[in-house]
Amino acid sequence: MMKLTDKVAIVTGASKGIGKAIAHAFGLAGAKVVVSSRKQDAVDEVAQEFADAGIEARAIACNVGDPEARKALIDQTAEAFGSIDILVNNAGTNPYFGPVMGMEDWAYDKIMEINLRAPYELARLAYPHMKAAGGSIINISSVEGQTPSPGLGIYSVSKSALIMMTKVLAQEWGKKKIRVNTIAPGFVKTKLSQAIFDNPQMLEYVMAKQALDHQAEPEDIAGVALMLASDDSQFVTGATFTADGGLTI
């Protein structure tokens, strides 16, 4: 299972949920993991938890909406480990739920900055540290980027654009041995989707549409990410892997 031995991986939004599960899976597979999220104390706690489990982990706080913080995350990782092999753009946000006509400019700007511009800039910053030996970039989108739900309009737009950005970078960087892929999770038990799981009627509706009958946990997405980070997917780039339990069939 040590598919990522000596690989250096950055995972954003890794203090909890899907990001933490992905970082943990990478560490168990032998990677040196940079755990990143907005608050230093939160990533320190996760890095210590990983270290106690025998995983080599480093905590670097980064608000991905801050250009200087993005640059610092990449620079500090490269300085500490000498290279970057894997980048998982997992951090995301959705500060507004409702019709697009009710959305204020600040909410639109924040969604686009965090969900689209940050992955774009982090990928560009990581590129010089990957191009010699190649690497894997994994963007965490959503089924909302494929089929929008009411109230999530601009969030869906940002996640759809992230899927297209994945294809563009995969096309341009393939000859540099840099693979770029997307995972589009369905409804996973995380803070971002907690309102759905706390609402019995909404949960019943989702589970009725979903082909599989279990509620998704972050670890269900981590396995897909591990495959995309490893040589098991060395001929895969520009692809979107829908992990939604059959919700969108």
Could you tell me the maximum CA-CA distance found in the chain, to the nearest angstrom? 51
Mean pLDDT on 71-82: 97
Percent residues over pLDDT 70 in the chain: 98
The whole-number pLDDT of residue 39 equals 97
How confident is the model over 86-127, as pLDDT tens digits? Answer: 999 999 999 999 999 999 999 999 999 999 999 999 999 999
Which residue type does 210 have?
Q
- Position 1 pLDDT exceeds 80: no
User: Residues with Cβ < 8 Å from 151, sequence gap 6 or more?
Assistant: 97, 98, 99
Helix, strand, or coil (residue 162) = helix
Two tokens at 92? 């995301």
Interior/surface letters 97-130, b for 16+ CB within 10 angstroms, e for the rest: eeeeeebeeebbebbebbbbbbbbbbbebbbebb
Q: How far apart are CA 149 and CA 154, in angstroms?
A: 10
Mean pLDDT of the chain: 94
The one catalytic residue among 96, 120, 127, 155: 155
Judged on CB neighbours under 10 Å (0-12, 13-18, 19+), 238 is middle
Q: What is the pTM of this model?
A: 0.95
The whole-number pLDDT of residue 9 equals 98
Which helix (H) or strand (E) is 240 found in, with range? strand 240-243
Phi-psi region of 22 (alpha: psi -120 to 50; beta: other; left: phi over 0): alpha
> Which of 92, 175, 184, 90 lies closest to 137, judged by CA?
90
How confident is the model over 136-169, as pLDDT tens digits? Answer: 999 999 999 999 988 889 999 999 999 999 999 9
127 catalytically annotated: no
The whole-number pLDDT of residue 207 equals 87
How far, CA to CA in Å, does 212 sit from each of 169, 187, 205?
33, 12, 13
Two tokens at 46? 């996760």
